[in-house]
Structure formats: structure tokens, C-alpha cells
Amino acid sequence: MEKEFLYVDCSSLEMKDIPRLPSNVKTLNLSNNKIQYIKDYSFDNLANLTDLDLTGNKLQTERIGQYAFEGLNQLQRLTLANNDISVVHLPKGIFQPLLSLLYLNIKHNAINKNIQGKIICDLHALETLEVDIMNTYSSGFNLFGKGVSLLRRLKRLVSGLCGVFLLTK
């Protein structure tokens, strides 16, 4: 008997916590709620999840556990846009469990510096990255650090806010 997968839409319900859901959830929309925390292992029972949308919540960097995405080996799309996440201070290795991730959107967050390569270097399958880009003169024009060069499958880089004034080869 083939397993039936679920699409769960919990958007705009003023939820404050990530709900515990059955393991056959394939798509989970938690956008536009009041979620402030992603605790370690919040999704560990959702091994079949391929699409997770956390857009427009109240997430902050220090409230996202280092092992928040543990167990999401099949996740292909992750949207964290329009929160208050400082992409510079995300814990190293936070995205390491996301072996199948093809699309990551972290635009429109607490932007003060560019995402560090060490944060995204584990995303070997990543094809599309949506992120705000700031020009930081102190680091020259190497916008993301060396880690981004490990993203061999990256095809699209989409900028939300862009503060780059000069691009060179």
C-alpha cells in the first residue's frame, strides 16, 4: 500500500509554536504566524518533508537551535524570508542536515552583513539562493567568503536588498 502524503497549510493562524505533525507531511506552510523559536529537533519526525515555509514570522537568530533542521534529509525548499534572522550569526552547521536542499530563501531579514560562506557551505545540492547582499568595504569584494565556492550546483543567486555599488570579476 502506497503511503499518502499531506500538504499542511497553517499560514496566518497566529501560531506561536511549531506543531507536532504526522510523519507523512510533505509540504508545510507556517508562514505569517508569530513563531519566535525553532528548537533543536523541531522537525525530526518529518523525514518526508520536502517544502518548509517559515516566511513572515518573528524568528531571531539566537532563538534558532543549532539542530533545528535535524531530520530533514529530504527537504528541497526552505523559505525563511521576512523574519529577524541575522544571517551572519546563524550557528555553523545549522544547514548541514539539509542534504537535498535545492532552494533557500533568506531574503529580507536582519541585514547588516552578508551571509557567511561557512554557513551555507554544507548545502552541496543547492541550486537557488535568495539572499540580501550588502557591500562591506572592510572585506573587499568577496561578498560571501570562500564557502560559497563549494556550492558547485548553484545556478541562481537572487538578491532581495542589494547594497553592492561595484562588481568586479
Contact partners, residue 117, CB within 8 Å, separation at least 6: 144, 145, 146, 147, 148, 149, 150
> For the chain, give me the number of helices (H) and strands (E)?
1, 7
pLDDT tens for 11-61 read: 999 999 999 999 999 999 999 999 999 999 999 999 999 999 999 999 998
CA dihedral of 115, 121, 127, 129, whole degrees rounded to 10:
-10
pLDDT tens for 93-113 read: 899 999 999 999 998 887 655
Q: Is 166 exposed, middle or buried (0-12, 13-18, 19+ CB in 10 A)?
A: exposed
Residue 9: pLDDT over 50 = yes
Q: How confident is the model at residue 138 (pLDDT cuts 50, 70, 90)?
A: very low
Angle at 154 between CA 130 and CA 75, to 5 degrees: 70
d(CA 75, CA 115): 21
Mean pLDDT of 108-121: 70
Mean pLDDT of 128-144: 64
Residue 139: pLDDT over 50 = no
Range of weakest confidence among 27-31, 134-138, 158-162: 134-138
d(CA 110, CA 7): 30
- Go through the domains of the chain in sequence order and give each one's CATH number: 1-142+151-169 (3.80.10.10)
The dihedral built from the CA positions of residue 118, 119, 122 and 127, taken in this order, carries a sign that is negative
d(CA 143, CA 42): 31
d(CA 111, CA 84): 9
